[in-house]
Amino acid sequence: MKGFFTVLSYTFKENSRKKTFIISTIITLILTIVIVSMPAIIKSFNSKQPSKTEQGSNSAKSKGVIFVVDSKAILKGNLNKLALVFTEYEFKSETTNNVTSLKDKVKGEENNALLILDEKDGLPTFDYLVKQAGDGLDPTELSKYIKSIFVTDLLKSANVTDNVAHLVQSDIPYNTLELGKGKAIGYISSMAISMLLFLSIYYYGYGVAMSVASEKTSRVMELLVTSTKPSIIILGKSAAMGLLGLAQLSLVVFTGILTYKITFPENFSIAGQALDFSNFTPFSVVIIVVYFILGYCLYAMMNAVAGATVSKAEDVNSALMPISMISILAFYMGYFSLTVPNATIAIVSSIIPFSAPFSMPSRILATEVPIWQILASSFSLVLTIILIAWMSIKIYSSAILHYGKRLKIKDLLKFSNKIK
């Protein structure tokens, strides 16, 4: 046990001191700060150019002009009413003859627009010309208003009382209350967590393979195995790299939260959904950490063996290929089931040990997962880890002293059969 902690603390110290680790941590932290403060940056850019909704109140001089060509008299002189409703715009009545010159005016100024009204099958229609879609007054607002004028006229001509006419025109107010987990938000955070888990498990697992391979390359391995048991080396090393990963991740998450608290604007929303972290309950945070640890253990054990099969550090990537394939496949299984967190594929992928780390935590964020599924998933993971670790230790002991050609899976199986 003492040996385990010796390996752990040495590996942790040496790796945390490495330039590559320090630089990658700094870059990740800067990226985290930039990404998290992005909404605030976007918002500050927006507030520099007066936004459309705030325009009416603060600037009379930059008022946009909407040229109205109403040859069929659909508005019947209601132009002033239009100006009263949309106070931030000036409405000018024009004639059909001027359309060409008006088009130029619209082209030149982003707040100007040209409204050409027409009638088709007894219904009013209009062409709305702007410099770029999205510029100027929202045409759906215009459409609503023109409709209300049209409907009011219709009702009047049918002798409907003003009172009833008003009721006909009013919208029915409604409220939506979500009792379960917010779907869209659940989806966004699930996706983020799933990606985060995949990237970190993959990245730190890769570190284990590299570390083992470099010990072989530098021939330190021979000294290590004469000093202590191979199982202590593989376990201590994996644990150290895992802790290092956890430390780096916590640093990133902590920086993220801090940046969020400082810079994040109020009432910011993504695709109409206000950001809300209510589904990150203490329980789900624990689950995320536990699944990171379990998933990491599983892949680290396999990676250590892959690292032990090569003689040169350059060969690590090709030795890792089968494991990378498994992990990518597993990740996509988990990732695709995100959209339907309660479908069979989602349940299966959250129980299969290889995909569970990428699938279960995100499902827990997105939906209510029955307790039996969580238990089944973690049991299958723990069992597989024990099995893989047991095999890995056996194979590792033989593989680390093998130099020359890269060992094939066939050779590894031979090793594991031989050593009883």
Partner 1 sequence: MSLDVSSVIKKFGEKTVVDNLSFKIESPGVFGLLGTNGAGKTTTIRMILGILEKDGGSIKWNERPVTRESVKFGYLPEERGLYPKAKIVDQLSYFGKLRGMDGKSVKKVLDYWFDRLKVSEYSNSTAEQLSKGNQQKIQLITSLLHDPELIVMDEPLSGLDPVNADLFKSVIYELVEKGKFIIMSSHHMESIEDYCTDLVILKNGETVLNGNLKEIKASYGRTNLTVNAQDNIDVLIKEGGIHLISKNATGYELKIKSDEQAYTLLEKIIASKIRLDKFEIREPSLHEIFIEKVGE
Q: How far is the CB of 360 from partner 1 (least distance, A)?
A: 37
Q: How far is the CB of 219 from partner 1 (least distance, A)?
A: 4
* DSSP type of residue 127: E
Q: Which of 257, 274, 321, 401 binds partner 1 (CB under 8 A)?
A: 401
Q: How far is the CB of 240 from partner 1 (least distance, A)?
A: 12
Q: Secondary structure of the chain: what % helix, strand, coil (to 5)?
A: 70, 10, 25
Q: 166-193 burial, b if ≥16 CB within 10 A, otherwise e?
A: eeeeeeeeeeeeeeebbeebbbbbbbeb
- In 3D space, the residue among 133, 137, 115, 135 whose CA is nearest the CA of residue 125 turns out to be 115
Q: Which of residues 187-216 bind partner 1 (CB under 8 A)?
A: 215
- Does position 22 interact with partner 1 (CB under 8 A)? The reply is no
Q: Which of 3, 39, 182, 256 binds partner 1 (CB under 8 A)?
A: 3
Site string for partner 1, 211-250 (x = CB under 8 A): ----x--xxxxxxxxxxxx---------------------
Do the Cβ atoms of 364 and 284 come closer than 8 Å?
yes
Q: Would you say 1 or 271 has its CB closer to partner 1? A: 1
Q: Would you say 285 or 401 has its CB closer to partner 1? A: 401
Q: Would you say 51 or 218 has its CB closer to partner 1? A: 218
- Does position 280 interact with partner 1 (CB under 8 A)? The reply is no
- Does position 14 interact with partner 1 (CB under 8 A)? The reply is yes
- In 3D space, the residue among 249, 231, 364 whose CA is nearest the CA of residue 305 turns out to be 231
- Does position 312 interact with partner 1 (CB under 8 A)? The reply is no
Size of the site for partner 1 (CB under 8 A): 24
- Does position 7 interact with partner 1 (CB under 8 A)? The reply is yes
Q: Would you say 166 or 219 has its CB closer to partner 1? A: 219
- Does position 16 interact with partner 1 (CB under 8 A)? The reply is no
Q: How far is the CB of 418 from partner 1 (least distance, A)?
A: 8
Kindly state the tokens that stand for 313: 């550090």
> Which span (10-18, 92-100, 159-167, 365-373) binds partner 1, by CB under 8 A?
10-18
CA distances from 177 to 74, 180, 181, 276, 369 (A): 41, 9, 11, 15, 21
Q: Would you say 14 or 138 has its CB closer to partner 1? A: 14
Q: How far is the CB of 17 from partner 1 (least distance, A)?
A: 9
CA distance 323 to 321: 5
- In 3D space, the residue among 385, 383, 337 whose CA is nearest the CA of residue 364 turns out to be 337
Instruction: Give the DSSP letter string of 185-210.
Output: HHHHHHHHHHHHHHHHHHHHHHHHHH
Q: How far is the CB of 248 from partner 1 (least distance, A)?
A: 19
CA distance 135 to 149: 24
Q: Would you say 66 or 233 has its CB closer to partner 1? A: 233
CA distance 43 to 63: 22
- In 3D space, the residue among 125, 70, 113, 72 whose CA is nearest the CA of residue 89 turns out to be 113
- In 3D space, the residue among 355, 348, 250 whose CA is nearest the CA of residue 299 turns out to be 355
Q: How far is the CB of 26 from partner 1 (least distance, A)?
A: 19
Q: Which amino acid is at 55?
A: Q
**How many angstroms separate the most distant Cα atoms in the chain?**
103
Strands 113-120 and 64-69: parallel
Q: How far is the CB of 207 from partner 1 (least distance, A)?
A: 15
Q: Would you say 311 or 367 has its CB closer to partner 1? A: 311
Q: Would you say 81 or 219 has its CB closer to partner 1? A: 219
Q: How far is the CB of 224 from partner 1 (least distance, A)?
A: 7
Q: How far is the CB of 230 from partner 1 (least distance, A)?
A: 9
Contacts of 391 (CB under 8 A, 6+ apart): 305, 416
Kindly state the tokens that stand for 346: 């989602």
- Does position 413 interact with partner 1 (CB under 8 A)? The reply is no
CB atoms inside a 10 Å sphere around CB 203: 14
Q: Would you say 227 or 342 has its CB closer to partner 1? A: 227
- Does position 407 interact with partner 1 (CB under 8 A)? The reply is no
Q: How far is the CB of 215 from partner 1 (least distance, A)?
A: 8
Q: Would you say 178 or 222 has its CB closer to partner 1? A: 222
Q: Provide the binding-site residues for partner 1, judged by CB under 8 A.
A: 2-3, 6-7, 10, 13-14, 18, 215, 218-229, 401, 418-419
